[in-house]
Structure 1
């Protein structure tokens, strides 16, 4: 799930994975971090969900996926779209 907080030049995007997801370690990987695994790990919230917030330039398109421990890649079902391989985010 994606949570957004836009301002004039940037949008804060919070990438959220539900508390009931079985993976223990998850990071978000995409165009915004050169697909570098572990660059943006999700941390546990008080409600048990895991999340990380990034500030990205507005009016951009990014491809991304989540990477869980054990090289388990998965998409965000609530992304702005999918390009056939990745989730898509529009800021």
Structure 2
């Protein structure tokens, strides 16, 4: 799973893996889930709201990047530089 994280300096991207046993719920664009770093930049927990109305904590392992993830017109995920992202969004 790839996501963008908003922090004090802007956006950064992160590739995340989890051992969550079900299909990871997909958030609509511009929806945010609450999360907290356990180990800055590599291990976090997020509060997921699943379809049944339940909430649960999920542990994620990650690798941070300086690029930002975007969707192109065909729905493909692209990694773009911070500068390009600022120019186009």
- Measured against the shorter chain, the TM-score band is under 0.3
Q: Which has the larger radius of gyration?
A: 2
Structure 1 or 2: more helix by fraction: 2
Structure 1-normalised TM-score?
Answer: 0.27
